[in-house]
Structures are given as structure tokens and as C-alpha cells.
Structure 1
Amino acid sequence: MNVALVDSHCHLDYPQFSDDLSGTLARAKNAGVGMMVSIGVKLTTFDKVRAVAEQSDHIYCTIGVHPHEAGEEGLSSPDALIEKASDPKVIGIGESGLDYFYDNAPRDAQQQSFRAHIAACRETGLPLIVHTRDADDDTMDILEEEYEKGPFTGVIHCFSSSATLAQRALKIGFYISCSGIITFNSAKEIRAAVEDVPLDRLLVETDAPYLAPVPKRGKPNEPSYVAHTAAKLAEIKGVTVEEITRITTDNFFKLFTKADRNNLLALGAE
């Protein structure tokens, strides 16, 4: 049985990986990571994201506009996303959402673009990758309002929000993705919220090159480090690392139905 981990959210097109992508992939394999999803943040850089995904059967990608970019590249229509989503390497829409911490784009532009991404999810059937920071109420209000118009699936990526947001997201069928944040000493409330998330709704990710987990704090994050997050999640949930690996990988393929499980690197095969 293949028990490889999936890094469900990383940014392999970023400069931190450009000089040593082969080394990054080799280290991921050695750490038990069998698949990665490189996330789109701007339409103008999508070609780079897709080019990285093309370098390995074990890498997929997404198409989207990050809320930070909504001022310059925010969308009022889902059409461009729908067009790009037909690519066989594109398995999700986003990341999109709301970021009121940095407020790098006007909030109305963030919200309009967020709704366009949701419309693209409805049209394509692909899951939505949601970024939310200091915007829990507006994020969930929009998700719930849009869900009433027609169902769609998705994940709250890099979960760092309240237990209330987690429970509201679970009610509309969303998944919760845990990053290295759950290993931080300061993340007690986040760990407590994760305790109440059912095992069948959890994913793991790095958000590399950001948010390296303990014991790699202070270093650029990379997909191999998702093993540390998985180990902490297993501890939080009171299961073995092998169980959390199997469960989160199964969950990944339930959500990202366009990803081919046959492309999961055959680590630990029996």
C-alpha cells in the first residue's frame, strides 16, 4: 500500500526553488512525500507555475489570484480561471480569499475576486483553495452565501483561524489544511481547534517557502518538511504517523478528484 504524504500547498515556482528544484524533489521523496501541489497566486505567473508542474508526474498546480494581488489582478468574472482550469495539470482554483491583516488590496476588490473564484469552482467542479487572515467573518459569510447559490468544495489552507471558522467551514463540506503553524509554541488555540476537526477532513501542507515547522524554524520551508507537520498532527489527534499519512492522503484525493493517485510516488509500497 502506498503511504506517501501529499504536500497539498506549496509554491515551487518561487525563486527559493529555482536553482535546486531537483534537490527539493529528492529531499521530499526521502522524507516520504509523494505528491505536491504548486499554488497559483497571479494569472500573469501561471505559465511558470504550470512549467514547474510539468517537470514531474508528482506535481500538480492550481490557477488563481491571491487576495494580495486583487488590486492589480483581481477578477470580476470566472472566465479566465475556467479556461485555464481545463489544463490536465490544474486540479484546483486559488488561492483566493481575504487578507485584512496586510490589506495589500482594497477589501471590495478582494471580495469581488473571491466570488469570481467561487463561480469558477462551481463551473469546473474543482475545489477552492481559501486564504483567510484577520477576515474570518467576511470569509465565511461569503462562502456560506455563495454555497446557497450552488454547492462547491474546498479547503481552508494554512489553518490559523478560530474554532468557529473551522466549524462553519466543516458545515459546508470544506476541509482544513494544517501547516507548520501547528508546531509553533504560540499556536495553542489553533491546535485546540484542530483537535475538534474530524480526521476525514484534514490535510497537511507546507506553504513553502514560508512557515517552516519546528524543528526547522528560521529556514526556508520546503515540501520535505511536511513530515514534521504530519507528525505533530498525529500527536494532536492521538494517532500514529502512519495513520495520519494514510488519512490525509486519502482525504487529498477525495477533495482533489482530478489528481491521479497513480502519480503518487510509490513510497512504502508493499
Structure 2
Amino acid sequence: MSKKKPDIPRFNHPIIETHCHLDYLDEGELDELLARSAELGIERMVTIAVSPDNLEKVLKLSRVDSRIWGTQGIHPHDAEQYNIDVEAQIIEQLDDPRMLAVGEIGLDYYYDHADRKVQREVFERQLQIAVDRQLPVVIHSREADEDTQAILANFERSLARKGVIHSFTSGMALARYCLEQGFMLGFNGIATFNRAENVREVVRATPIEQLVLETDSPYLAPVPYRGKPNSPCYLPFIAQRIAEELEVDTEHLLRHAYRNSLALFFPSEVTV
């Protein structure tokens, strides 16, 4: 007999989902998610572009509901699909006020779906878009710490809005560099995995003023739903575990994570 999963905890403070992929859902699932997330205090969701195929989908999703926002960018897996036309589409669609950042961009040397030289070139081109548009970036970095840091170092002075290293699983050296530069670190369900002590070590070293919450759904569902499709509705589980690691009350963590998310994507709403 299967063990009943615990109910999703509810907190008083609203939550911003800073990284998910809503275009993987069908229309019925999206409606259900929006209703459920409203019950749980998930105030806004940022759905992330990753490929030429979903740039337009993300833009359209951001117009479905006022709680959905988006980004524009090409993931390193699809770097070889990047060209002048794709770049022009990204730049044009960033004119939409519901597109908040350039991303998901970066380097992935774990899967190596694209040539590493091409990945680096495409990463740099999209960082330049962020510089030109004065937008933050959403960065993916896996098994590429040294090159990620080296490329970001070339943009230290020009990347005014910085951004977030999402789903942070890299080493402490890259974490320290990014934190020193003013980036946020994004933590998701991985922080709840039994064997992810390396991630929790970084969580404990991250100032509470520089972390944001995400799910990367439909991937990386947290314990106790690991192995199942993920959802922004599972953010409370992630918040609880991160609060435990930082030895703070979950409501206290949520207040900071919310303010950090505003600073990252909605800076005009940040109050002193």
C-alpha cells in the first residue's frame, strides 16, 4: 500500500516562482495550476524560454494570465540553432513589457548537446543583448564553472542588472564569485535531495538577501514528490528545506525571497 504524500504546507507570505516551464503544460493543466497556485499563495510565475521553438510560446503564455511573466533566450543545449534570425526574434520580443530577462542562457558541459565553442559564443552574444537592453540574465551552468566565470568576468562592468544563476549546483568558487558580483542564486527541489549536500553547503553560504526560489518544473520535483512531475505549487517544500538550512523561520525566508525576486525581475516595486 502506497504511503500518502503530505499536504503542501501553507504560509502567510506570497511566493514568486522565478523559474518554470509552463509551455510543457496543456491548456487544462495550466488552468488547474493557476487555480491551485492561487490557493497556495504563489503570486507570480516566470516561465522561461529555452529554444527557438518556444520563444513565441513563452510570449503568448505571458498574456494568458496577469500572474505569468516570461523571458527570452536560448539554452546551451540549443546553441547550435542560434542565428541572426533567432537573435532578432529575441531582441524584438524583449520589447514586450512582460518579458523580464534574457534567459535561459549559459553553458552545459555535462550533456554537451552543442559544441562548447558555439555555446560560449552564443552565451556571450546573449549577455551582450542583456547589456544593450539593461536587463537581467537567467544563467544555466553545469560542469562549466571556470568558463562561466571567465565569460561573466568579461561583462562585469557592463552587465548592470546582473541576474540569477538558476538551479545552482556548481562549486563554491563560482558561488562566491557570483555573489560578490551581485547575482542571485536560484535554489529548487535539488536542495531537498538526500545526496545534494553540496547544494545545501552553497545554500548555507548564500546571504539570505541573494537567494530566490524556483522549481524548474516540470523537472526536479522536491522531496516528498521526487520522481513525479514538478509544479510551482511545490515551492513551499523547497522554502521549508532552505529555511532549515539557514536556521530561520520559513516565513522569514519567504519575506526575503519575495523581496529578492522583486529586486531581480520587478525592481520598480522594491520599497526601502
TM-score by length of 2: 0.90
Q: Which of 16, 20, 23 does residue 6 from structure 1 map onto?
A: 16
Aligned to 1:160: 169
For residues 229 and 222 of structure 1, what CA distance do their matches in structure 2 show?
11
Q: Which of 223, 228, 232 does residue 219 from structure 1 map onto?
A: 228
Determine whether 1:87 maps to 2:100: no
For residues 226 and 20 of structure 2, what CA distance do their matches in structure 1 show?
17
Q: 1:257: Cα distance to partner?
A: 2.9
Q: Which of 57, 63, 67 does residue 66 from structure 2 map onto?
A: 57
Q: Counterpart of 2:164 in 1: which secondary structure?
A: strand
Q: Which of 33, 57, 63 does residue 24 from structure 1 map onto?
A: 33
Tell me, yes or no, if the aligned pair for 2:130 and 2:159 is still in contact at 8 Å.
no
Determine whether 1:115 maps to 2:124: yes
Tell me, yes or no, if the aligned pair for 1:76 and 1:116 is still in contact at 8 Å.
no
Structure 1 residues 251 and 138, CA gap change in structure 2 (3 angstroms): same
1:39-65: per-residue Cα shift (whole Å, max 9, x none)? Answer: 001233211111111111111000000
Q: 1:125: Cα distance to partner?
A: 1.4
Determine whether 1:235 maps to 2:241: no
Q: Counterpart of 2:56 in 1: which secondary structure?
A: helix
For residues 55 and 86 of structure 2, what CA distance do their matches in structure 1 show?
17
For residues 159 and 196 of structure 1, what CA distance do their matches in structure 2 show?
12
Determine whether 1:130 maps to 2:133: no
Q: 1:210: Cα distance to partner?
A: 0.2
Structure 1 residues 243 and 227, CA gap change in structure 2 (3 angstroms): same
Percent identity over the alignment? Answer: 38
Q: Counterpart of 1:36 in 2: which secondary structure?
A: strand
Tell me, yes or no, if the aligned pair for 2:134 and 2:160 is still in contact at 8 Å.
no
Structure 1 residues 76 and 134, CA gap change in structure 2 (3 angstroms): farther
Alignment of 1:177-216 (within 5 A): 177-216=186-225
Q: 1:81: Cα distance to partner?
A: 2.8
Unaligned runs of at least 5 residues, structure 2: 1-11
For residues 57 and 104 of structure 2, what CA distance do their matches in structure 1 show?
16
1:73-127: per-residue Cα shift (whole Å, max 9, x none)? Answer: 2569965433221101100101000000000011111111111111111111111
For residues 52 and 259 of structure 1, what CA distance do their matches in structure 2 show?
23
For residues 91 and 69 of structure 2, what CA distance do their matches in structure 1 show?
17
Amino acid aligned to 1:251: N
Q: Counterpart of 1:62 in 2: which secondary structure?
A: strand
Q: 1:166: Cα distance to partner?
A: 0.6
Q: Counterpart of 1:43 in 2: which secondary structure?
A: coil
Unaligned runs of at least 5 residues, structure 1: 262-270
Q: 1:193: Cα distance to partner?
A: 1.3
RMSD: 1.9
For residues 61 and 77 of structure 2, what CA distance do their matches in structure 1 show?
22
Query: Which region of structure 1 is more displaced relative to structure 2, 39-48 or 225-234?
Result: 39-48
Tell me, yes or no, if the aligned pair for 2:217 and 2:231 is still in contact at 8 Å.
yes
Tell me, yes or no, if the aligned pair for 2:55 and 2:90 is still in contact at 8 Å.
no
Structure 1 residues 46 and 78, CA gap change in structure 2 (3 angstroms): closer
Q: Deviating runs (4+, > 3 A) in structure 1?
A: 16-19, 74-80, 148-152, 258-261
TM-score by length of 1: 0.90
Q: Counterpart of 2:58 in 1: which secondary structure?
A: helix
Which of the pair has the greater relative contact order for Cα pairs under 8 Å at 6+ separation? 1
Q: 1:148: Cα distance to partner?
A: 4.2
Aligned to 1:264: none
Q: Counterpart of 2:140 in 1: which secondary structure?
A: strand
Determine whether 1:169 maps to 2:169: no
Structure 1 residues 24 and 104, CA gap change in structure 2 (3 angstroms): same
Q: 1:70: Cα distance to partner?
A: 0.4
Q: 1:244: Cα distance to partner?
A: 1.1
Determine whether 1:97 maps to 2:106: yes
Q: 1:232: Cα distance to partner?
A: 0.8
